[in-house]
Amino acid sequence: MHALKVNTAGGSYPILVGRGLIDRADAFVSLLPGRQVLVVTNDVVAPLYLDRVLASLADLEPATLVLPDGERHKTLETFSRIIDALVDAGFHRDACVLALGGGVVGDLSGFAAACFHRGIACIQVPTSLLAQVDSSVGGKTAVNHVAGKNLVGAFHQPVGVVADVTTLETLPEREFLAGLAEVLKYGIGLDEEFFEWLENNLQALLDREPLAVERAVIWSCAIKARVVAEDEREQGRRALLNLGHTFGHAIETHAGYGSDWLHGEAVAVGMAMAALMAEELGTIDADTCRRIRALIEAAGLPAHPPAMSTDRWMELMGRDKKVAAGRIRLVLPTGIGSSALSAGYDDAALARTIARTAPNDD
């Protein structure tokens, strides 16, 4: 088992990464504040892993809640179901929500934990690649609103993350690739050495070779832990973790949550667009842009958005949480393994980027 630490203002918590962790009571017990645990999962993950997690919690009497699967259920209504389950179980302030699943279950459960009794403990047990490398770490919790992705939420750090990489063996291929987009994000935007490792080990990752996958999860979590420790509330550097997300969230909102676009796929397109935009602005050269886009495409991820008019792009990107003083702020690559938040760009470059990638036939 590999243990990393996330240091935050409220204290530090472990990220445990390894094989077979969900079967180990010791992976969970030291994280639990008391005996009351609500295991929240969904109807895809429950048949695969719920019994094994419950066996590890056998000394307690955990309550369970199985939600319907899917991004379209990441709503205030589903959030209310978790709160109702905590109330029905008679749970108190020392209760804990254990989120077993992908980023949807993790974000919903984390938000419910943030709100119940003004904040109870949450253990993240991520089972998708995206959740293991990104959403389970760092304390961002949220639900979607028709007006915008993750529009309602809270910062609420988990008390621990238990990432069992063997659970990824049952992850559908498309979901694995979507998670890989967030892995690439760390290399493209934050760590040149990781980018080069990804270029050299992409096939091993696509083949899901266990050592390569575990290394990518650990490396990604280490980068994220470092960024979160520096900037827990996204006052600065943490915004760089949103590389590709302003474009990507616009695609997801336009297409509808739970539609044909997975979050990671939309982020992949967003990163490819961010590279083009940076090239338009002259902050990266054509070869750097090519390398970034080549890595995304070699990973089998999309690099082209759906058809959307420039006005629609502007409208949806204008709802992004990073908008400040009426300006859309974009995270753009400044090289391989480096990026910056930029508001002082020429609007025409943004329009050109959109025009280069998105046909105006909406």
Q: How many whole angstroms separate alpha carbon 205 and alpha carbon 216? A: 8
**Residue 73 a catalytic site member:** no
User: Rule CB under 6 A: is residue 331 a binding residue for ligand GLY?
Assistant: no
**Residue 118 a catalytic site member:** yes
Binding at 196: pick from ligand GLY, ligand NAD, none (beta carbon under 5-8 Å per type): none
Closest approach of Cβ 138 to ligand GLY, in Å? 4
Binding at 150: pick from ligand GLY, ligand NAD, none (beta carbon under 5-8 Å per type): ligand NAD
Binding at 156: pick from ligand NAD, ligand GLY, none (beta carbon under 5-8 Å per type): none
Binding at 244: pick from ligand NAD, ligand GLY, none (beta carbon under 5-8 Å per type): none
Nearer to ligand NAD, 23 or 175 (CB): 175
Q: How many whole angstroms separate alpha carbon 269 and alpha carbon 177? A: 13
**Residue 245 a catalytic site member:** yes
Q: How many whole angstroms separate alpha carbon 35 and alpha carbon 240? A: 38
User: Rule CB under 6 A: is residue 252 a binding residue for ligand GLY?
Assistant: no
Closest approach of Cβ 241 to ligand GLY, in Å? 4
User: Rule CB under 6 A: is residue 132 a binding residue for ligand GLY?
Assistant: no
Buried b (16+ CB within 10 A) or exposed e, 306-325: bebebebbeebbebbbbeee
Q: Which one of 42, 73, 149, 182 is the catalytic residue?
A: 182
Closest approach of Cβ 13 to ligand NAD, in Å? 15
Q: Residue 276, Cα to own-chain centre: how many angstroms?
A: 23
**Residue 254 a catalytic site member:** no
Residue carrying the six token digits 């080069």? 196
**Residue 242 a catalytic site member:** yes
Q: Look up residue 46 and give its two tokens.
A: 């429950």
Q: Which of residues 134-153 bind ligand GLY (CB under 6 A)?
A: 134, 138, 140
Measured CA distances, 84 to 46, 154, 295 (Å): 19, 19, 44
DSSP 306: P
Q: Which one of 71, 234, 265, 280 is the catalytic residue?
A: 234
Binding at 336: pick from ligand NAD, ligand GLY, none (beta carbon under 5-8 Å per type): none
Q: Considering only 133-141, 151-159, 270-278, 349-357, which stretch makes contact with ligand GLY by CB under 6 A?
A: 133-141
Measuring CA to CA, which residue among 220, 222, 215 is closest to residue 18?
A: 215
Q: Which one of 73, 74, 140, 254 is the catalytic residue?
A: 140
**Residue 237 a catalytic site member:** no
DSSP 69: P
Q: Look up residue 90 and give its two tokens.
A: 């008679």
Main-chain phi, psi angles of 77, to 5 degrees: -65, -45
Q: Which residues bind ligand NAD (CB under 6 A)?
A: 42, 44-45, 48, 69, 71, 74, 101-105, 107, 127-128, 130-131, 134-135, 138, 140, 150, 167, 170-171, 175, 178, 263-264
Q: Is the distance from CB of 260 to CB of 172 less than 8 angstroms?
A: no
DSSP 324: B
| Strand, helix or coil for residue 75 | coil
**Residue 280 a catalytic site member:** no
Interacting residues of 290 by C-beta distance below 8 A, sequence separation 6+: none
For binding to ligand GLY (CB under 6 A), which residues are involved?
134, 138, 140, 238, 241-242
- Residues with active-site annotation: 118, 140, 182, 224, 234, 238, 242, 245, 249, 263
